[in-house]
Structure 1
Amino acid sequence: MATVDGSPYGPRVGVSPPGAGQPAELRLRPPRHEVDPRAVRYWTALALVIVVPPVLTLALLTALIPPARLWLGLSLALVALPGVAYVLVMPRWRFRVHRWEVTDQAVYTASGWFWQKWRIAPMSRIQTVDTVRGPLLRMFGLSAVTVTTASAAGPIRIGGLDHRIAEDLAQWLTAATQRTEGDAT
């Protein structure tokens, strides 16, 4: 199994081998790897956590307060209709957009769903690598890797990864940044 650094983590975490379509210089390009398909269910659950409480509250108030039923019912419709669309569309749309890749030169990401963003972080600019596993992420067996650089644009976040891949990726990135010359500022 050929990898960038001879470790078994390269192909598993989406590290491209040297010379595999890499340009001589770093340039913004679409990353090659999708996030885990379970991310769609995670994003759906997250959307439900946002949408369900106000919809239930308005539905309950509509049922309990007859004099305000018309206005509360209209408010319910104004919240529920876009909320249902958000829950149904956003997770699948995000899955189509979110991509990531790590080469021996840089970390590439594409993220967003309505506002889409491509980012690149050269290995020499990486300052810290963190993994995040909140309760909802753990329920779906997912993690996120946050790569912090000196950029004013903030950290690069690769969300929706299988937790084993995220751990391997964080280890690989940490080792790769230690091997890379530069001051990460």
Structure 2
Amino acid sequence: MREPAHRVSTRAIGMWTVEALTVVLVLLGGQVIWWFVDDRPSRSAHWIVGAVWLVLSIAYVVVMPRWRFRVHRWEATEHAIYTQSGWLRQERRIAPLSRVQTIDLERGPVSQLFTLASVTVTTASAAGPLTIHGLDLPVARELVEALTTSAVRERGDAT
């Protein structure tokens, strides 16, 4: 199976970085709470966990968004939608447009900040929907329109 032709927007790196920082800040909050709640006289466990957490957090924030950008790809033809996603566990999927049931454009707060969107294509498949994250908003709108037009033309029953 060949690699899909199109990459997501380069701004997706920024979006994924902000999302990673959000996760890291929530975990930092847990670390801080643990520091104040723990009444043991020795703080060595805090320093060890904190140091490991800091190294892993920096690696996650720096590496993950760029790695995802290198992996995430998509392509739409008149008969199928192709996706490749993931960063630790990578997945490549093809869905015939004859099996498409719904096509959704989604924009969360962070993606809106970066003028990005996600397109989710739900099919009659036990594998679940295909989602393309990090598309430029105009590209996402155009993709939704093209997929909708192509799916309507297909003669399948979407089951």
Would you call these one fold, judging by a TM-score over 0.5? yes
Q: Which residue of 1 aligns with 2:6?
A: 33
Q: Which residue of 2 aligns with 1:71?
A: 45
Specify which of 44, 49, 53 is matched with residue 22 of structure 2: 49
**Aligned 8 A contact 1:35 1:160 in 2:** yes
Using the TM superposition, give the Cα deviation of residue 61 of structure 1 relative to its aligned residue in structure 2, in angstroms: 5.7
Range moving further from structure 2, 96-105 or 58-67? 58-67
Task: State TM-score, norm by structure 1.
Answer: 0.80
Aligned-partner SS, 2:27: helix
Specify which of 131, 137, 146 is matched with residue 163 of structure 1: 137
Coordinate RMSD, CA, aligned: 1.8
Residues matched between the structures, number: 158
**Aligned 8 A contact 1:133 1:144 in 2:** yes
CA deviations on 1:16-58 (whole Å, 9 max, x unpaired) are xxxxxxxxxxxx3210000000000001111111112322552
Aligned-partner SS, 1:176: helix
Using the TM superposition, give the Cα deviation of residue 94 of structure 1 relative to its aligned residue in structure 2, in angstroms: 0.6
Unpaired segments of 5 or more residues in structure 2?
A: none
Asked if 1:174 corresponds to 2:148, the answer is yes
Q: Which residue of 2 aligns with 1:136?
A: 110
The residue identity in structure 2 corresponding to 1:162 is D
- Counterparts of residues 9-28 of structure 1 (less than 5 Å): 28=1
Distance (whole Å) between structure 1 residues aligned to residue 99 and residue 147 of structure 2: 12
Q: Which residue of 1 aligns with 2:95?
A: 121
Distance (whole Å) between structure 2 residues aligned to residue 100 and residue 110 of structure 1: 6
**Aligned 8 A contact 1:55 1:80 in 2:** no
Aligned-partner SS, 1:127: strand
Percent identity over the alignment?
Answer: 48
Task: State TM-score, norm by structure 2.
Answer: 0.92
User: Post-superposition, which runs of at least 4 consecutive aligned residues in structure 1 deviate over 3 A?
Assistant: 59-66
Specify which of 67, 87, 99 is matched with residue 93 of structure 1: 67
Distance (whole Å) between structure 1 residues aligned to residue 43 and residue 34 of structure 2: 8
Using the TM superposition, give the Cα deviation of residue 137 of structure 1 relative to its aligned residue in structure 2, in angstroms: 0.7
**Aligned 8 A contact 1:97 1:110 in 2:** yes
Aligned-partner SS, 1:67: coil
Q: Which residue of 2 aligns with 1:13?
A: none
Q: Which residue of 2 aligns with 1:4?
A: none
Q: Which residue of 2 aligns with 1:102?
A: 76
Distance (whole Å) between structure 1 residues aligned to residue 35 and residue 126 of structure 2: 47
